């Protein structure tokens, strides 16, 4: 397993600050924000194929720990931010060496017209979790006895409801569309994680073995589950189809498990980095697909669990969002220099249209009005905004332009 310091160097990349309208200079700041490193090869190679109108509504800046990406409620009304944390890599990955005295401060805010209104904060041994819904957001709390609890913080009241309260290490929890919860669990003396799935139909547990662990699960929009399996140094994505209304157990689900090997240089740290760019984003479309950062190819990647083929977003992409459009599926792809829109299925010669300059990471699926919460990470603070891509039509353009405002803008790019 890579040393924590080595992993930190891997993801401590310089972040490109969003270009101001009319500016030609880029300001670069250093951050340890959890964004995967760009590939060292050439640029994204996008070209203009369309015209779009973009409405960008700035929401303001929030301080953060320069590492953790924020969580947004599924209805787009609230944002939670890890403002302070002393967590190291063993703590983030719930390793045997996790800290016993964790200190953290998490604030949560209501998204209003052009602003973020502070609703409350919690201080103590709290780490911002990986998931949120319209009722609240998840936190994890490592204990001094070596255990770890999972809780849900209510957006409205700040009250914490503990979802686990045993002596084990419970970590990496996510929420599902029907109120499901899935997480990884291990005994305090063990290094192997089991998978726990709590559904309205009952609990399912996939036990570990001495040479493999189940870590960092994620639900799709239909309630199916993706999960990483770490087995003898190989990191594979697993898919478990979950049928609503049907009671399941490990024996009934195991024959349906689909595995897709991703890398032979597997570790929990690499799985953690692979999921971080899209953690907390509710899936809008389609089911049975997962978007993740490929640890070997260094770009955002889509796996459709119905086959073995992978689709790739723009070269050097470090974040993204798959969404439905009138003419089919499209994706937003974040690079360290721009936010792009590209059609799916992805192909080497796909057209990608520039939406915004700078590093802007989607943090929510479109809300009822089609708006997406995006974040521009800087040193110790997050610039937050809401983005609405109002229309997109195919038209040839030979010019390159961009502008953004709280009302509308248009942009295109050619390489």
Q: Find the distance separating the first CA and the last CA of the chain, reported in whole Å.
A: 39
Sheet containing 319-325: give its strands across.
Answer: 319-325, 328-334, 338-343, 353-357
Q: Do the Cβ atoms of 363 and 281 come closer than 8 Å? A: yes
Q: By mean pLDDT, which of 196-210, 243-257, 276-290 is the weakest?
A: 276-290
pLDDT of 393: 44
Neighbours of 231 (CB within 10 A): 16
pLDDT of 282: 66
3-class DSSP assignment, residue 118 = strand
- Token look-up 């911002």 returns 128
Report the relative pairing of strands 136-142 and 115-124 from DSSP bridges.
unpaired
* pTM confidence score: 0.84
pLDDT of 326: 52
Neighbours of 296 (CB within 10 A): 12
Q: By mean pLDDT, which of 112-121, 131-140, 354-363, 391-400 is the weakest?
A: 391-400
Q: Do the Cβ atoms of 387 and 407 come closer than 8 Å? A: no
CA 79, distance to chain mean position in Å, is: 14
Per-residue pLDDT tens over the stretch 4-63: 333 333 333 323 233 222 222 232 233 345 555 444 333 333 333 356 688 999 999 999
Give me the chain's average pLDDT, please: 82
Return d(Cα 1, Cα 403) in angstroms, integer.
45
Per-residue pLDDT tens over the stretch 204-245: 999 988 889 999 999 998 999 999 999 989 999 999 999 888
């Amino acid at each position: 397993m890579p040393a924590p310091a080595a992993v930190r160097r891997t993801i401590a990349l310089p972040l490109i600050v969003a270009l101001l309208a009319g500016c030609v200079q880029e300001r670069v700041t250093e951050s340890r924000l959890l964004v995967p490193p760009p590939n060292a090869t050439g640029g994204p190679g996008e070209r203009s194929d369309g015209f779009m109108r973009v409405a960008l509504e700035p929401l303001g800046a929030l301080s953060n720990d320069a590492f953790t990406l924020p969580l947004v409620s599924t209805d787009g009304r609230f944002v939670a931010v890890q403002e302070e944390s002393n967590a190291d890599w063993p703590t983030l990955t719930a390793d045997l060496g996790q800290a016993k005295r964790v200190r953290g401060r998490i604030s949560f805010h209501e998204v209003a017209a052009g602003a973020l209104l502070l609703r409350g904060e919690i201080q103590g041994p709290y780490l911002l979790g990986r998931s949120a819904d319209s009722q609240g957001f998840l936190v994890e709390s490592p204990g001094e006895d070596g255990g770890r609890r999972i809780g849900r913080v209510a957006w409205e009241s700040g009250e914490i409801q503990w979802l686990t309260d045993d002596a084990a290490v419970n970590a990496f929890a996510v929420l599902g569309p029907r109120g499901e919860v899935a997480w990884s669990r291990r005994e305090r003396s063990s290094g192997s994680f089991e998978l726990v799935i709590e559904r309205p139909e009952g609990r399912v547990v996939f036990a570990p073995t001495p040479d493999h662990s189940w870590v960092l699960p994620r639900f799709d929009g239909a309630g199916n589950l993706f999960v990483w399996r770490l087995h003898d140094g190989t990191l594979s994505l697993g898919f478990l189809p979950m049928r609503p209304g049907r009671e399941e157990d490990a024996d009934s689900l195991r024959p349906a498990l689909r595995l897709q090997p991703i890398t032979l240089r597997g570790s929990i740290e690499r799985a953690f980095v692979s999921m971080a760019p899209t953690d907390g984003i509710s899936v809008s479309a389609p089911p049975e697909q997962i978007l993740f950062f490929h640890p070997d190819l260094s770009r955002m990647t889509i796996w459709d669990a119905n086959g073995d083929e992978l689709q790739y977003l723009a070269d050097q992409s470090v974040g993204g969002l798959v969404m439905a459009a009138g003419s089919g599926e499209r994706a937003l792809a974040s690079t360290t220099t721009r936010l792009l829109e590209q059609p799916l299925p992805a192909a080497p010669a796909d057209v990608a249209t520039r939406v915004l300059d700078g590093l802007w990471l989607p943090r929510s699926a479109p809300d009822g009005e089609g708006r997406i919460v995006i974040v521009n990470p800087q040193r110790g603070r997050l610039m937050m905004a809401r983005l609405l891509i109002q229309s997109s039509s195919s038209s040839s353009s030979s010019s390159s332009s961009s502008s953004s405002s709280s009302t509308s803008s248009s942009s295109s790019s050619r390489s």
